[in-house]
């Protein structure tokens, strides 16, 4: 065998060993690093953060875009304890069409680059209940879903992202509680191509009509036959205590025995004795 053949044989062996999962190579040890100055403890930052003042939305058209952006920054960083304050500020700006239009523009811009910011802008716009906002939400709701894009776990990621924004738009339309906006919501219940949006439209219509029998009767005329279960879907609201939720869940499961899952199937049996969760403690916040 010539040298060349020997080299090929060696390379073939080495290559096959390289593909063989076998024992994994040792992973590089050593901690992550940063050159930035470290903070002592995050809880030390809480107070300063909460002292941040919201920007006023009472501005002229020339400053609307800038103020809308700053307001979205502030509202995104606000916490659950500031919810009523955010709602109040948004309600006070209802008549400011320039600011509403700026929120709409920011939602469109962020939809392409930062979904979490687009959700914020649409939430604010929906909470505003303004005519400009209504038009913006309606336009978004009817935007066609992309049919091509990044396919992950069988879904087109861009399609899901837009449908989630449209679901937020439907929340805003339903919250207007006008006949015209309700027609859009009911259109979405029947005709929107995404189940994400249809499901949210049902939910939002029911909630905004206090789950009344009349609202259910209206929805029954619009809901797709294979999606009737969404009318009975269990809502987990933050204020509801366990006893009440559990009672409603039990009633739901009793009314829908067809939803009981089958017994989970076994893979193969290997005997194990369960251990308690690892008890290594993170540093105290």
Of residues 14-33, those binding other proteins (CB under 8 A): 14-15, 18-19, 21-25, 27-33
**Pick 60 or 157: Cβ nearer other proteins:** 157
Tokens found for residue 93: 């700006």
What CA–CA distance (Å, rounded) separates 67 from 60?
A: 10
**Pick 98 or 208: Cβ nearer other proteins:** 208
Q: How far is the CB of 41 from other proteins (least distance, A)?
A: 7
What CA–CA distance (Å, rounded) separates 200 from 188?
A: 9
Cβ atoms within 10 Å of 157's Cβ, excluding its own: 13
List binders of other proteins among 23-82 (CB under 8 A). Answer: 23-25, 27-39, 41-42, 45-46, 49, 72-73, 75-82
> Using the rule CB under 8 A, is 195 a contact of other proteins?
yes
Q: How far is the CB of 245 from other proteins (least distance, A)?
A: 5
Range in contact with other proteins (rule: CB under 8 A) among 55-63, 96-104, 171-179, 211-219: 171-179
Query: Which residues does residue 152 pair with via DSSP β-bridges, in sequence order?
Result: 155
> Using the rule CB under 8 A, is 3 a contact of other proteins?
no
CA angle 227, 232, 233 (to 5 degrees): 85
CA distances in angstroms from 233 to 199, 226, 240, 250, listed in the order given: 9, 14, 15, 12
> Using the rule CB under 8 A, is 245 a contact of other proteins?
yes
Q: How far is the CB of 264 from other proteins (least distance, A)?
A: 5
What CA–CA distance (Å, rounded) separates 155 from 160?
A: 7
Q: How far is the CB of 115 from other proteins (least distance, A)?
A: 4
What CA–CA distance (Å, rounded) separates 86 from 78?
A: 8
> Using the rule CB under 8 A, is 147 a contact of other proteins?
no
Is residue 263 left, alpha or beta, with left meaning phi > 0 and alpha meaning psi from -120 to 50? beta
Range in contact with other proteins (rule: CB under 8 A) among 60-68, 138-146, 214-222, 225-233: 225-233
């Amino acid at each position: 065998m010539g040298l060349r053949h020997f080299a090929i044989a060696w390379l073939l062996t080495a290559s096959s060993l390289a593909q063989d999962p076998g024992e994994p190579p040792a992973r590089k040890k050593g901690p992550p690093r940063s050159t930035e100055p470290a903070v002592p403890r995050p809880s030390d930052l809480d107070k300063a953060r909460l002292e941040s003042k919201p920007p006023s939305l009472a501005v002229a058209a020339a400053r609307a875009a800038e103020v809308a952006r700053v307001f979205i920054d502030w509202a995104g960083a606000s916490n659950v304890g500031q919810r009523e304050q955010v709602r109040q500020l948004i309600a006070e700006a209802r008549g400011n069409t320039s600011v509403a239009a700026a929120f709409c523009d920011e939602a469109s811009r962020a939809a392409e680059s930062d979904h979490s910011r687009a959700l914020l802008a649409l939430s604010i716009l929906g909470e505003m209940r303004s005519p400009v906002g209504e038009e913006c939400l309606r336009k978004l709701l009817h935007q066609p879903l992309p049919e091509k894009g990044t396919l992950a776990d069988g879904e087109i990621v861009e399609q899901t992202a837009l449908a989630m924004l449209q679901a937020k738009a439907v929340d805003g339309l339903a919250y207007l509680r006008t006949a015209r906006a309700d027609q859009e919501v009911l259109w979405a219940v029947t005709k929107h191509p995404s189940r994400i949006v249809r499901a949210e439209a049902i939910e939002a219509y029911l909630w905004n009509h206090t789950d009344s029998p009349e609202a259910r009767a209206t929805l029954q005329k619009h809901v797709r036959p294979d999606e009737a279960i969404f009318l009975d879907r269990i809502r987990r609201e933050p204020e509801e205590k366990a006893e009440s939720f559990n009672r409603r869940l039990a009633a739901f499961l009793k009314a829908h025995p067809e939803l009981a899952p089958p017994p989970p199937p076994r893979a193969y049996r290997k005997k194990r004795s369960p251990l308690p969760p690892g008890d290594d403690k993170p540093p105290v916040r």
